[in-house]
Chains A and B, each alone.
Chain A
Amino acid sequence: DTAVSQTPKYLVTQMGNDKSIKCEQNLGHDTMYWYKQDSKKFLKIMFSYNNKELIINETVPNRFSPKSPDKAHLNLHINSLELGDSAVYFCASSPQAGLAKNIQYFGAGTRLSVL
């Protein structure tokens, strides 16, 4: 069973559309994350949720809105897509029980292409 699963794996869409990426983890972790990896492979944290509450919200356009219906799910909704949103988006999860146990496990990524 996949520990952190994201859907879809590939997403091709037109500028101006609204799209969502879903993420689910079956590890029982308390914390989930969204990262953006640009064309130069640089990874940037976007959001972090701990037990459904937002704890990290980096400088991200408000067109991006994370939603956590429960601690096993963290979905990313993007409004009015722009060309610059094209990237690979990774979901990750980790236990929050102290630094010693904080290992982040990643989903397979969603490659978003905005045309």
Chain B
Amino acid sequence: AQTVTQSQPEMSVQEAETVTLSCTYDTSESNYYLFWYKQPPSRQMILVIRQEAYKQQNATENRFSVNFQKAAKSFSLKISDSQLGDTAMYFCAFLDSNYQLIWGAGTKLIIKP
């Protein structure tokens, strides 16, 4: 069975610092997709970034980038120049071949002024 593990329940950093959220997963599939979603206090689930497993190049969206290590089954999210609005729960998710999203337990990120 596929699993997604986020080992950091909570993290906090100062505004403008860089923070990395970790995510590992377990699968026997070769083609899949990985996602990071953000859930701010408004509770809306917002897609942050997506990575295709067959692409070696790490995905980047403005201040958000991933470090995808396929062999290690690791998919960490780096947030550069963190902002107060980045305070949220961050969920790592794996999309399997049945189109089902498998979710991690989430990491609560607090950006301090």
Using a CB–CB distance below 8 Å, which chain A residues touch chain B? 31, 40-45, 48, 56, 88, 90, 92, 94, 96, 99-100, 102-106, 108-109, 111
Q: Contacts A48-B100, A94-B99 known; A106 to B44 CB distance under 8 Å? A: yes
Q: Contacts A90-B45, A99-B33, A99-B95 known; A104 to B101 CB distance under 8 Å? A: yes
Pull 13 A–B residue pairs with CB atoms less than 8 Å apart, ordered by A.
Answer: A41-B108, A42-B106, A43-B103, A44-B103, A48-B99, A88-B43, A90-B45, A96-B99, A99-B32, A99-B99, A100-B33, A104-B47, A109-B45
Contact with A along B19-35 (1 / 0, CB 8 A): 00000000000011101
Q: Hey, which chain A residues are within 8 Å of B44, CB to CB?
A: 106, 108-109
CB distance from A103 to the nearest CB of B (A): 6
Which positions 62-113 of chain B face chain A at CB distance < 8 Å?
89, 91, 95, 97-101, 103, 105-106, 108
Query: A94-B99, A102-B95 known; 20 other A-B pairs, CB under 8 Å?
Result: A31-B99, A40-B105, A41-B89, A42-B105, A43-B106, A45-B100, A56-B100, A92-B45, A96-B99, A99-B31, A99-B33, A99-B95, A102-B33, A103-B47, A104-B47, A104-B101, A106-B44, A106-B45, A108-B42, A109-B45
Q: Which residue of B lies closest to A102 (CB)?
A: B99
B15 within 8 A of A: no
Complex CA distance for A103 and B97, rounded to whole angstroms: 13
CB distance from B40 to the nearest CB of A (A): 11
Query: Do residues A45 and B97 form an inter-chain contact, with CB atoms below 8 A?
Result: no
Query: Do residues A108 and B43 form an inter-chain contact, with CB atoms below 8 A?
Result: yes
Q: Hey, which chain A residues are within 8 Å of B32, CB to CB?
A: 99
Query: Do residues A45 and B43 form an inter-chain contact, with CB atoms below 8 A?
Result: no
Query: Do residues B103 and A42 form an inter-chain contact, with CB atoms below 8 A?
Result: yes
CB distance from B47 to the nearest CB of A (A): 6
